[in-house]
Amino acid sequence: MYISQIYVNLDFQGRTEFSGKDRRPNSQGRISGNYKYGPFTKSTMQPDLYLRNFLLLFAFLLRLRLSASIWIQETILIDQPEFGFEAEEKISKNEQELVLDGGFVVPNSNFFGHSFRDYDAESARQSSVENFYRINHINQSYDFVKRMREEYEKLNKVEMSIWECCELLNDVVDESDPDLDEPQIEHLLQTAEAIRKDYPNEDWLHLTGLIHDLGKVLLHPNFGELPQWAVVGDTYPVGCAFDESILHHKYFQENLDFNNTAYNTKHGVYSEGCGLNNVMMSWGHDDYMYLVAKENHTTLPSAALFIIRYHSFYALHKSGAYRHLMNEEDVENLKWLQIFNKYDLYSKSKVRIDVEKVKPYYLSLIEKYFPAKLRW
């Protein structure tokens, strides 16, 4: 309820005008809102109908006796919601949600109902996720990565289109991810569509969302069926010290490079500001998809390739580690990666995407930025 002041103005021509001031506080706590009602003014708010009729009758009786203007002030109480039900519901809802730069609403929990990237929360997959990182950290050495790059940069496994590769991921589940238990094609489209909603004019970013995880086909039998620890999970540089911000850092103690003086210093085999393009990252789907896109002469901008290659490099874009290895181009591209990462992480939910409905749009982007068939 709020208070409104109603005025009745009688003029010499016998015309009656209602005017008033809305005494309801606005969202900033201020009193505002004037209105008028009468035969020669447009109404923006009407008082109660019975009150109006009473005032009209009262004014008519006064007109019989008065020849000058008379002002009557009446204070009334009006029972009326301040914002309306839908507005209040949205306000209440938004107070509990994070909204990204372009307007995409971040859900409060992942597929399993836990906070995103919560590796301590109890769930059916937590123990398997930690065991995954134990094996990953023990085996991802400088020499191992070098061998894998030499093998897979040949791109001699198969020829297929981008969309064929998307469909190939239908049976792939990332065991390192505590937020997702759906086929990868679902996550690809969730990410792409969330970006498309908030950045409608950046079609290259939409496509990057779709293809960023296609390197996970390394888990498929056609690509050697590599173990999960050699395909998915957070990535990090090899050939220099393992930063303590890396998830489950303790397991690096069993890595051959941990006590190797050539690889366990801050810079290791690299130099200050050498550029991430000259740094070897732990082997996985990020680096593989980067090689596929680059060697098949994609026309995507450098920021897209940077996103594809480093989107799992959480030690950098979440913790700020390894910045001493970056050059100026890396610094600029990192801005796009940090935007992208929000969608890569927070779009993992139970929201289902109508694949057939969005497929024509993404096929047009694939045709724009990639050849019809790619070497994998």
The pLDDT tens digits of the residues spanning 39-56 come to 433 333 444 555 656 666
From 267, 107, 244, 279, select the one nearest 179 (Cα to Cα): 107
pLDDT of residue 43: 38
Beta bridge partners of 38: 41
State pLDDT tens for residues 149-193: 999 999 999 999 999 999 998 877 667 665 555 667 888 999 999
Report d(CA 180, CA 7) in Å as an integer: 63
Q: What is the sign, positive or negative, of the torsion defined by CA atoms of 122, 125, 131, 134?
A: negative
Binding site members: 117, 174-176, 187, 212-213, 216, 233-234, 285, 311-312, 344
Token reading at 371: 């050849």
Report d(CA 7, CA 47) in Å as an integer: 11
From 300, 47, 280, select the one nearest 150 (Cα to Cα): 280
State the residue for tokens 């874009």: 317
Report d(CA 307, CA 322) in Å as an integer: 16
Q: What is the sign, positive or negative, of the torsion defined by CA atoms of 135, 137, 142, 146?
A: positive
State pLDDT tens for residues 53-63: 666 666 566 55
Q: How confident is the model at residue 273 (pLDDT cuts 50, 70, 90)?
A: very high
Binding site members for substrate: 117, 174-176, 216, 233-234, 311-312
State pLDDT tens for residues 359-375: 999 999 999 999 999 99
pLDDT of residue 67: 41
State the residue for tokens 């990462």: 341
On the 0-12 / 13-18 / 19+ scale of CB atoms within 10 A, 296 is middle
Report d(CA 319, CA 310) in Å as an integer: 14
Binding site members for Fe cation: 187, 212-213, 285, 311, 344
State the residue for tokens 């094996």: 135
Across the chain, what does the average pLDDT equal? 77
Report d(CA 152, CA 268) in Å as an integer: 25
Question: Furthest-apart CA pair in the chain: how many Å?
Answer: 107
Token reading at 97: 């949600």
Report d(CA 105, CA 86) in Å as an integer: 17
Q: What is the sign, positive or negative, of the torsion defined by CA atoms of 123, 311, 182, 107?
A: positive
Q: Which amino acid is at 98?
A: L
Counting residues of the chain whose pLDDT is more than 70, the rounded percentage is 62
- DSSP string across 265-302: SSSTTS-TT--GGGSPBPPSHHHHHHHHHHHTT----H
91 versus 313: the higher-pLDDT residue is: 313
On the 0-12 / 13-18 / 19+ scale of CB atoms within 10 A, 10 is buried
Report d(CA 114, CA 122) in Å as an integer: 9
